[in-house]
Chain A
Amino acid sequence: MSGVVARRRTIVLGVVVLAAAVLAGLLVGPARIAMSDVFGWLVAFGDAPEGVSEQASTILANLRLPRVLVGGLVGASLAASGAAYQAVFRNPLADPYLLGSAAGAGLGATIVVAYGPSGSVELTVPLAAFVGALVGVGLAYGLGRSSLGGRAATSLVLAGVAVASFLTAVQTFLQQQRSETLRQVYTWILGRLGTTGWDDVRLALPSVLLAVATLWAVRRLLDVIEVGDVEAESLGLHVGRLRLVVVAAASLATAAAVAVGGLIGFVGIIVPHTVRLMVGGSYRSVLPLSVLFGASFLILVDLIARTVVSPAEIPIGVITAFVGAPFFVAVLRRRARTT
């Protein structure tokens, strides 16, 4: 069937783009490392090859490579979670932070920054953000799932808004109490990959792999739930179970992403929508492509964030908004012309 062929082709395209993005991420950076050196290092992976200085090798191995990997993991997580939430809540504006994960993560980070032992901030903030995100979603889910039938999706969204508002209020209060924490939390909120290392990769990788694999596996069912809870039940789908699985997986992915990257907005909405403009609304394609293009998008955006005002950096959350919007408009225009 032609649908399958076209789908395979776009997935191949997604993989190619991702590979190109990773390569670009390794080649470009504030430290001037020659292209030949990068390739030499890649080929002799593990050891510093001759001709490449130890410093360049260190930068590539300990700074650029983990940063590119984390960028890819975060981008893939946010895009996949956004797409999945848009399906199970039938809401095109649903983003990965919908059920209070962002507010929970922010609160966790603030608590640690304000009251935690000042020595081990590097490790405890991501962990606290991770736990906080999951707690936020758990609260929203517990509050919102009591409603049945056609109102289940809306109830969850409303519960998420309530939980997010409350947790944000608590966070703001704590920040006012300890105003010296304001700047630290603020820079975290803007999203940052500037301090990533292999620790962050180790923290994020298992969760992201598990969660994204789960979402990838149930992508066919996301199409089914698009026809509404009642019709989906008539087709034999256990709507409540699917929603639970998706919320759990997406929250895990988002929590991991937020823990290592801070609150990077925009990715979870723009990437799935752009993918839909390219290949239509079926999640069989939208989900895998969101994963691939989400990873590429964030790697490239991070590349811009660290080169545009090099050697200074721009917080990545600021760039995603600037870059995403015109890109979306361009794709929209192209679609309007060809339809």
Chain B
Amino acid sequence: MGGDTGTHLDSFRAEGGQMGRPRTTLYVVACALVLVACASDGAEPTGGGGSRNPVSPSTSFPVTVEGSNGSVTIQDRPTRIVSLSPTGTEDLFAIGAGDQVIAVDDRSNFPSDAPVTDLSGFEPNIEAIASYEPDLVVYSTEIGDLGSSLRSVGLTALQLDAPVTLEDAYEQIEQLGIATGHQDEAEVVVAGMRAEVDSIVESVGPAEGLTFYYELDDTFYSVTSDTFIGQLFSLLGLENIADAAGKGSGGYPQLSAEYIVEADPDLIFLADTKCCGQSPRTVANRPGWNTIAAVENGNVVPLDDDVASRWGPRVVDLLRAVADAANAAADEAAA
């Protein structure tokens, strides 16, 4: 599926066999010059997560990376990256590729200096994307043959879909590192994440075994431990009350209010604070919910919708928030 970059080269070759090679060299040199020029425009420090190193022209292009859409070959170091995935955006900036990004979609609100546009990852408009003349498009959801549409207009498209495990998320960061010529920085980021995750997991001592309910929306959709989010909680040793409902629901069952009340979880995590206006106060107002331990003891934890729905470096922040809440609950119970 790296055929789109192949056509690039073919168009050069078509201009004449012998003339092909010199032209390619000329092109690479020109690119390198352009890159150096861009880099010397001054790199502002990023808002959070990942440092920016000065650009070092990569020596290892072309590369082939593994996306959710298979192998993607990237001919040259991309300097006009369009990201349609909020997680992709966070990853790119974290590994230092932020100045290679020229446009991100309307939901990519982190980091704050990412170049947000009207482009939509939900309703992608191929023409609008192509008008930016990107040399790499990163997206996460395959909406209506997005991938093949992008390739049909000659664009390089890398899909990084929602991961199943934390390892998959690390893998995506590393792939992006290779794809953008920031392999070293990516490895540093991932190593940092691993270390933090380990330390957070260790810090959760007495909270192990506490039960929790994770709320996706106000009609009680939840997640089981088979999902990415669910696995994070499992890492901390917390027990998910939705697991009993997991069979055949694709990991996202809609729970019954009765069941939640009966299960009496120690912790409630709200991932619907932004979309559906839920808060510890609204939860306490629900009929019958005031008898739940989490509500009685004030262990209803509002999470940032965005952080909870992405799988970039801020996943660590999510884990930390959860661990802190769990520890606090455990301490209270012990006291």
Of the candidates B255, B276, B277, B287, the one whose C-beta lies within 8 Å of that of A311 is B255
Closest A residue to B254 by beta carbon equals: A313
CA distance A183 to B277 in the complex (A): 15
Of the candidates A30, A63, A199, the one whose C-beta lies within 8 Å of that of B288 is A63
Residues of B contacting A62 in the complex (Cβ-Cβ under 8 angstroms): 287-288
Of the candidates A122, A199, A312, the one whose C-beta lies within 8 Å of that of B245 is A312
Whether A183 and B261, one on each chain, are in contact in the complex, defined by CB atoms closer than 8 angstroms, is no
Of the candidates B122, B217, B256, B277, the one whose C-beta lies within 8 Å of that of A120 is B277
Whether B276 and A313, one on each chain, are in contact in the complex, defined by CB atoms closer than 8 angstroms, is no
Residues of A contacting B286 in the complex (Cβ-Cβ under 8 angstroms): 195, 197
CA distance A32 to B244 in the complex (A): 14
Segment at the interface with B among A52-60, A94-102, A234-242, A325-333: A52-60
CA distance A63 to B275 in the complex (A): 24
Residues of B contacting A91 in the complex (Cβ-Cβ under 8 angstroms): none
Which A304-336 residues have a C-beta within 8 angstroms of B? 306, 309-315
Instruction: Count contacts on A: residues with CB < 8 A to the other chain.
Output: 39
Q: Decide if B332 is an interface residue (CB 8 Å cutoff).
A: no
Closest B residue to A198 by beta carbon equals: B287
Whether A32 and B262, one on each chain, are in contact in the complex, defined by CB atoms closer than 8 angstroms, is yes
Residues of B contacting A194 in the complex (Cβ-Cβ under 8 angstroms): 219-220, 254, 256-257
Chain A proximity of B276: nearest CB distance (Å): 6
Q: Decide if B44 is an interface residue (CB 8 Å cutoff).
A: no
Q: Decide if B247 is an interface residue (CB 8 Å cutoff).
A: yes
Q: Decide if B18 is an interface residue (CB 8 Å cutoff).
A: no
Residues of B contacting A58 in the complex (Cβ-Cβ under 8 angstroms): 261, 288, 291
Chain B proximity of A217: nearest CB distance (Å): 34
Whether A184 and B275, one on each chain, are in contact in the complex, defined by CB atoms closer than 8 angstroms, is yes
Whether B218 and A195, one on each chain, are in contact in the complex, defined by CB atoms closer than 8 angstroms, is yes
Which B218-267 residues have a C-beta within 8 angstroms of A? 218-221, 244-245, 247-249, 253-259, 261-264
| Known pairs A122-B282, A194-B254; A311 contacts B218 (CB<8 A) | no
Q: Mark A172-206, 1 if CB is under 8 A from B, else 0.
A: 00001001100110010000101101110000000
| Known pairs A197-B286, A311-B245; A187 contacts B217 (CB<8 A) | yes
Residues of B contacting A55 in the complex (Cβ-Cβ under 8 angstroms): 261-262, 264, 291
Size range of the interface on B?
Answer: 20 to 34
CA distance A63 to B286 in the complex (A): 10
Of the candidates A29, A117, A122, the one whose C-beta lies within 8 Å of that of B258 is A29
CA distance A63 to B287 in the complex (A): 7
CA distance A263 to B254 in the complex (A): 18
Interface centre among B123, B258, B291 (most CB of A within 10 A): B258
Residues of A contacting B244 in the complex (Cβ-Cβ under 8 angstroms): 311
Interface centre among B220, B248, B254 (most CB of A within 10 A): B254
| Known pairs A30-B262, A62-B287, A122-B282; A312 contacts B253 (CB<8 A) | yes
Closest A residue to B121 by beta carbon equals: A179
- Secondary structure at the B interface, as helix, strand, loop or mixed, is loop
Q: Decide if B274 is an interface residue (CB 8 Å cutoff).
A: yes
Whether B291 and A30, one on each chain, are in contact in the complex, defined by CB atoms closer than 8 angstroms, is no
Whether B287 and A312, one on each chain, are in contact in the complex, defined by CB atoms closer than 8 angstroms, is no
Chain A proximity of B143: nearest CB distance (Å): 11
Whether A179 and B122, one on each chain, are in contact in the complex, defined by CB atoms closer than 8 angstroms, is yes
Whether A184 and B276, one on each chain, are in contact in the complex, defined by CB atoms closer than 8 angstroms, is yes
| Known pairs A32-B262, A63-B261; A306 contacts B288 (CB<8 A) | no
Residues of B contacting A31 in the complex (Cβ-Cβ under 8 angstroms): 258-259, 261-262
| Known pairs A63-B261, A179-B123, A197-B287; A121 contacts B218 (CB<8 A) | yes
CA distance A29 to B288 in the complex (A): 15
Residues of A contacting B274 in the complex (Cβ-Cβ under 8 angstroms): 118
Chain A proximity of B270: nearest CB distance (Å): 13
Of the candidates B253, B275, B277, the one whose C-beta lies within 8 Å of that of A309 is B253
Whether B219 and A311, one on each chain, are in contact in the complex, defined by CB atoms closer than 8 angstroms, is no
Which A244-269 residues have a C-beta within 8 angstroms of B? none
Residues of B contacting A187 in the complex (Cβ-Cβ under 8 angstroms): 217, 219, 221, 254
Whether A306 and B276, one on each chain, are in contact in the complex, defined by CB atoms closer than 8 angstroms, is no
| Known pairs A29-B258, A306-B258, A310-B259; A59 contacts B248 (CB<8 A) | no
Whether B258 and A30, one on each chain, are in contact in the complex, defined by CB atoms closer than 8 angstroms, is yes
Residues of B contacting A29 in the complex (Cβ-Cβ under 8 angstroms): 256, 258
Residues of B contacting A59 in the complex (Cβ-Cβ under 8 angstroms): 258, 261-262, 288
Whether A312 and B258, one on each chain, are in contact in the complex, defined by CB atoms closer than 8 angstroms, is no
Chain A proximity of B166: nearest CB distance (Å): 25
Closest B residue to A188 by beta carbon equals: B219
Given contacts A63-B257, A194-B219, A312-B254, list 12 more A-B pairs with CB under 8 A: A30-B256, A30-B259, A55-B262, A59-B258, A119-B282, A122-B218, A176-B123, A184-B218, A309-B247, A309-B249, A311-B263, A313-B253
Measured CB to CB, the residues of A under 8 A from B are: 29-32, 54-55, 58-59, 61-64, 66, 117-122, 176, 179-180, 183-184, 187, 192, 194-195, 197-199, 306, 309-315
Q: 4 nearest interchain CB pairs?
A: A311-B259, A31-B262, A118-B277, A312-B253
Measured CB to CB, the residues of B under 8 A from A are: 120, 122-123, 217-221, 244-245, 247-249, 253-259, 261-264, 274-277, 282, 286-288, 291
8 A-B residue pairs with CB within 8 Å:
A30-B258, A31-B259, A55-B291, A118-B275, A180-B275, A194-B254, A195-B286, A310-B256
